[in-house]
Amino acid sequence: MLEEPGVRAFRLGVAGPVGTGKSSLIATICRALADELRIGVVTNDIYTDEDARFLRAEGVLPAERIRSVETGACPHTAIRDDVTANLLAVEDLEQDCAPLDLVLVESGGDNLTATFSPALVDAQLFVLDVAGGGDVARKGGPGIARADLLVVNKIDLAPHVEVDVAGMVADASGARDGAPVLALSKNLPETVVELKAWVHWLLARYRSGEHDPLDPGPMAPHFHADEGGMEVVHSHADDGTVHSH
Ligand SMILES: Nc1nc2c(ncn2[C@@H]2O[C@H](COP(=O)(O)OP(=O)(O)OP(=O)(O)O)[C@@H](O)[C@H]2O)c(=O)[nH]1
Ligand SMILES: [Mg+2]
């Protein structure tokens, strides 16, 4: 539990394309850790509160610890560009249900470019699905490359969709300079144990001050009218991206 009452919770974002298993993963974390940590959840849906209703129906947490934000726009807007609605939801949740150890924020399902701003979460995981194809991990993007953890999810389905999980994990590790990749299935308890261990590890690092929130991007290719045209390539050294001007 919290070392000091009143300290804000560790905030962990869960992003990834539509249907990759974000809500199920959150339900899995809640089930696995409910006896050890006080957890709250904020879900984001574009037009509904479907994900919050799913989690309440799963009975993984007291209903008042599950809040929803209806974004009404591109999912990444609410987790990256203007995080106000989410930040208010997280802060209200932390206040109403204090003390919480962990708040999970689910992004609306988006494409490969969606990542959380560090203004909203302390760390983030990005979820891919083997059923999306073994090549996806190689295609890269800010979440795949720089999220704190990349999850290759639904590995129980791999034989049915002819995906080589070990190959997909190796591709993902290659795209991440060796940063952690977890092959997960909610139906394979040994993988859930690994997910649980990762959350504990990161929470311990956060509490001891060793964890630095990272902004994974994205920095989309763009041009500036007053710069030297399309041939100029420069690097944003602070976030590691390189792009053309
Ligand atoms: N076989 C299998 N199915 C899974 C697993 N995880 C999730 N699913 C299924 O995948 C579907 C989508 O899961 P969700 O958790 O709703 O996915 P999501 O990413 O939250 O979806 P959106 O919020 O709509 O983007 C559901 O039918 C889940 O039951 C898994 O590990 N194995
Ligand atoms: Mg969901």
pTM: 0.89
Q: How far is the CA of 103 from the centre of ligand 2 (A)?
A: 16
Q: How much is the pLDDT for 221?
A: 56
Q: How much is the pLDDT for 1?
A: 45
- Minimum-distance ligand to the CA of 109? 1
Average pLDDT over residues 123-134: 96
185 lines ligand 1 (CB under 6 A): yes
Q: How far is the CA of 22 from the centre of ligand 1 (A)?
A: 7
pLDDT in tens, 23-51: 999 999 999 999 999 999 999 988 889 99
Give the HSE-up count for residue 81: Cα atoms under 13 Å, Cβ half-sphere: 10
pLDDT in tens, 195-243: 999 999 999 999 999 999 989 986 655 677 776 555 444 445 444 444 4
Residue 147 has pLDDT above 60, yes or no: yes
Is 18 annotated to bind a ligand? Reply is yes
Q: How much is the pLDDT for 242?
A: 45
Structural domains of the chain ordered from first start: 10-214 (3.40.50.300), 221-245 (no CATH)
